[in-house]
Every structure is written in C-alpha cells, then in structure tokens.
A and B are shown apart, each in its own frame.
Chain A
Amino acid sequence: MIAIIKYNAGNFTSVKNAVERLGVEYIISDKKEEILEADKVIFPGVGEAGTAMKYLKERKLDVLIKNLKQPVLGICLGLQLMCKHSEEGDTKCLGIFDTEVRKFPDIKIVPHTGWNNFTSVKGNLFEKIKTTNDVYFVHSYYADICQNTIAVCDYIKPFSAAIQKNNFFATQFHPEKSADVGEQILRNFIQFT
C-alpha cells in the first residue's frame, strides 16, 4: 500500500492516476496512522513553499514526514520542502536534505518548463534509465547540488534533479508526467523494500 500525502499543495490527481496505472494500491491521506502503516509514501507538491510548510506544521505532518522509516518519494515542491530552507517566502523546510532551495535568475526563461535530461545518475531509483532519457520539469526554484544529489540537471546552472538520503528519495521533475521514463522511475521506487 502506498500513501500519497494529502495537503494544500498537492495536485495529487496526476500522482494518483500514475500509481493507478501501475496497478498499485494506494490511499490519499493526511492521517498519521494511515501514513505510518503504508509500505511507501509519496509526498507530491505543486504550489508555494511557505503556505505548504505552514499547513504541514499546523497538522504536525512535518514531524511525521521527517521521521518516516519506509521509502519516501518527494516530487517537485515535495523535494524542495525536504531541503533545509527555501528562498520562496524565506521558508524553513523539513531539513531532511542538507541543501538550500533558490530561485532561478531571470537570465533565461523561468520557469524551467519542459523535457530535459540529467547526468551523474546514482542509485537504484534510476535502474534502466539512461542519461539521454528526458523527463518533465516545471519549476522556478531549484535545490543546490549537495552530497546527497543523485542526478544533476543543467538549466541556467547545474542543480539537483534528484536527491536521496537513506530512505528519502526526491525528484525535482514529475515522474508522473514523464511518459514511459517516468513510469519506470515510479516502478523502481515501488519495488523498493
């Protein structure tokens, strides 16, 4: 069973549909017991960091997420909220990954929108994935590269396309919107034990 965390910054319809296409059982929940009981947790997110953190704190979901022991996959804003701090609304985040989230400088089109590939790929989240494969990004903020970065994308400057620390995985891109490549990445995550 996969728990998709329900909060105010989720367009979780697309994540739910992607999980459904893979034929995996899921629940969408903000209840502590249900999330703790799940084999895996997906922490999606589309929205603004400050409002999202405020909502998570009010419901004590911040403490819950940080202390999860099963594999967790953060997506997009999910990744950013798992970092230390975000420039978006000068927000203190969960601090799972020791890195900073910054706004892209406006020297090229922002948001970074569309299909891009990544390099320096590490770990089994990317099993069967090649560095020539493209995934779908849409974001104006990015996480700096850190020691836990497992994939690097270059747009304006190199940034973390994916990060992993212990049981916590996160992608800046949207695997649920990244055609067959994204589906493979989700499948890899689902197969973790």
Chain B
Amino acid sequence: MLKKRIIPCLDIKNGRTVKGVNFVDIRDAGDPIELAKRYVQEGADELVFLDITATIEKRKTLVKLVRKIALEINIPFTVGGGINTIDDVAAIIEAGADKISINSAAVKRPEFITEIANNYGSQCVVLAIDTKYINSDWFVYTHGGRNYTPQKTAEWAKKAENIGAGEILLTSMNHDGTKNGFAVELTNNIANIVNIPVIASGGAGTEKHFVDIFKNSKASAALAASIFHFGEIPIPRLKKYLFENKIAIRN
C-alpha cells in the first residue's frame, strides 16, 4: 500500500536552518545538513529545503549546499526558494536535488512549470502555493506571502496540473505558525480537483493534527517545520501515533 509521507521542511537562510512564525520573526534552528541527517535517521520520508536568502550570491551557496545534502542523504529531497530561471533549475538538479519547488516565478510566468516539466519531467516540479482565505475564498499569495494576487487557489492548482506540475505543496497562511492544525477542508478541496499528490502544509502542532489531515482529506503528504526542528514532536513518536491510528506510514 502506498504510504502517507511525513516531510520536514528546512527553511535556509545564509546556509543555516531558520523558521519563521507567520512568515516573520525568524528563529535559528541550526546546520541544515546535520538536521537533514537526523531526520533521515528518524524516518522522514522526504525533505524540503526552502532557501529564503535574498542576496546575489545566493545561487552559488545554494548549489553548494544541495551538492553536500545529496552526498549525505538517501531519500528524495526538494529544493525551492527564489528559483526563477531554467538555469537555476539545471544547476540545482545537477547538484543532486530530486525535485524543484517553485512559487512566485510560476505565478508570474506559468510557462515556467511547463519548461521544467519538459526538461526534467513533471515528477520534478513541485508547485508551492501560499494561500489565504479572504472575502469568502482562497487566494494565491506570492513572495513569501507578502503579495496578494487575484488568482483563486483552486483554479491555479488545476491549471498548474494541466500545464505540467507534478505535485502541489499547499500552505495555508491562515494556519501556518498557529499550531492549531492543518487546513483540512481547503486541502481536501484541492486534492479532489487535481489528480497529482497534494502536500498539506501549515498549522501542524500535535500528532492528532496529522491524523486529522490524513483521515479527512486526500493529502498524500504532510509537511511541517518548527515542531520537528525544536524536537516538540519527534518523527518516530509521530509515526507510531499514526500507525496506531491506522494511517498507512513507512516504518
């Protein structure tokens, strides 16, 4: 049976792991490689690295980091954060990343999704959507959640699938950082209209939240950051809890 995936996300700034609460107020969470290795040992099913560095030197350091990560870990990993051009993608894939996550660049230029899919396959393209519920609908935000767009989330997700996205990483900004649980209804709506895997993100605070998202939505995976970084929920304990609650997970 295909298992539900648990994905720790590491936000990287200047080569260190950090985690923002509600996209601001950044705390330092340590060396990304050490953290990544720990997660692999603990049973993480996949890893996501999001680079939030905003300097010109960024790409060089990121590629170097990706190369080191690829040497050390033996599970799939995704790299994202400010990836704008097919050259950025090529450099990161050649360094050993399995998937690329794109967000603002895809909103600005949807053909970018198709370009990556044509060059590296759809399985390589993770479309990250940051979304917020306002005026009785979910809208897409870009630039780390700073910029509103009039694009409705459901329409964007469907369009992205049609033009080559292989997975959707769906973050509810209303839930992110709150630790009050994932956006179950939103995730289920999106997972019902696309036929590619949806990764639920934002709001994980307890083990029960993971059971909720997997029991009440068709999410293929759930992503979280701070609860793993600061040891609030060790992955082995989470997986034991999911197993006891009859969620199919990798042991």
Measuring CB to CB, which residues of chain A are less than 8 angstroms from any residue of chain B?
11, 13-14, 17-18, 20-21, 46-48, 106, 108-117, 132, 134, 136, 138-140, 154-155, 174, 176-180, 182-183
Task: Find chain A residues with CB under 8 A from B2 CB.
Answer: 112, 114-116, 155
Set B5, B98, B124, B197: member contacting A177, Cβ < 8 A: B98
Q: Report yes or no: A11 in contact with B93, Cβ–Cβ below 8 A.
A: yes
Contact B74 A176 (CB under 8 A): yes
Question: Smallest distance from the beta carbon of A14 to chain B beta carbons, Å?
Answer: 6
Contact of A136 among B1, B75, B124, B220 (CB under 8 A): B75
18 A-B residue pairs with CB within 8 Å: A20-B71, A21-B71, A46-B121, A111-B122, A111-B166, A112-B2, A114-B5, A114-B45, A115-B5, A115-B45, A132-B251, A134-B3, A136-B76, A154-B1, A176-B74, A177-B74, A179-B75, A180-B74
B120 within 8 A of A: yes
Decide yes or no whether B95 CB sits under 8 A from chain A: yes
- Residue of A115, A139, A176, A183 near B250 (CB, 8 A) is A115
**B3: A residues at CB distance < 8 A:** 114-116, 134
Among residues 216 to 251 in chain B, which have CB atoms less than 8 Å away from a CB atom of chain A? 220-221, 250-251
Query: How many residues of chain B are within 8 Å of chain A by beta carbon?
Result: 30
> Is the pair B74, A18 in contact by a Cβ cutoff of 8 Å?
yes
Give the docked Cα–Cα distance between A108 and B5 (Å): 17
- Please give, as numbers and ranges, the residues of chain B lying within 8 Å of A13 by CB-CB distance: 70, 93-96
Chain A residues with CB below 8 A from B167, complex form: 113
Q: Which residues of chain A come closer than 8 Å to B149, judged between CB atoms?
A: none
Q: Closest residue to A18 on the B side, CB-wise?
A: B74
B47 to chain A, nearest CB (A): 11
Which residues does chain B contribute within 8 Å of A155, judged by CB atoms? 2
B74 interface neighbour in A106, A113, A140, A179, Cβ under 8 Å: A179
Which 8 pairs show the lowest CB-CB distances between chains A and B? A13-B96, A134-B250, A115-B250, A115-B3, A138-B123, A116-B2, A177-B76, A113-B197
CA distance A11 to B75 in the complex (A): 14
Known: A110-B196, A178-B75. 9 other contacts (CB 8 A): A11-B93, A17-B71, A18-B74, A48-B121, A111-B123, A140-B122, A155-B2, A182-B74, A183-B74
Chain B 1-25, CB-CB to A under 8 Å as 1, else 0, gives: 1110100000000000000000000
> Which interface residue of B71, B93, B121, B166 has the most chain A CB atoms within 10 A?
B121
Cα separation A140 to B197 with both chains bound (whole Å): 13
- Chain B residues positioned under 8 Å from A113 (CB to CB): 123, 166-167, 197, 220
**Are B220 and A109 closer than 8 Å at their CB atoms?**
yes
Do residues A14 and B220 form an inter-chain contact, with CB atoms below 8 A?
A: no
Is B251 in contact with A14, judged by CB distance below 8 angstroms? no
Q: Complex formed: what's the CA distance from A156 to B216 in Å?
A: 21
> Is the C-beta of B211 less than 8 angstroms from some C-beta in chain A?
no
A69 to B124, CA, bound (A): 34
**Known A179-B74, A179-B75; contact A110-B195, beta-carbon cutoff 8 A:** yes
Q: Which residue of B lies closest to A76 (CB)?
A: B123
Find out whether the CB atom of A109 lies under 8 angstroms from the CB atom of B197: yes
Q: Which residues in A have their C-beta under 8 angstroms from that of B120? A: 11, 46-47
- Most B-side CB within 10 Å, residue of A48, A108, A178, A179: A179
Interface string of B174-208 (1 = CB under 8 A from A): 00000000000000000000011100000000000
Contacts of B98 in A (CB 8 A): 11, 14, 177
Instruction: Write out the residue numbers on chain B whose beta carbons fall within 8 Å of the beta carbon of A178.
Output: 74-75
| Cα A176 to Cα B96 with chains together (Å) | 12
Give B104-129 as 1s and 0s: 1 = Cβ < 8 Å from A's Cβ atoms: 00000000000000001111100000
User: Which among A114, A136, A180 has the highest number of chain B CB atoms within 10 Å?
Assistant: A114
CB distance from A127 to the nearest CB of B (A): 19
Residues of B within 8 A of A17 (CB): 70-71, 96
Query: What are the residues of chain A within 8 A of B76 when measuring CB–CB?
Result: 136, 138, 174, 177
Name the residue on A nearest B95 (C-beta).
Answer: A13
Min CB distance B98 to A, Å, is 7
Chain B proximity of A103: nearest CB distance (Å): 13
A18 to B71 alpha-carbon distance, docked (Å): 8
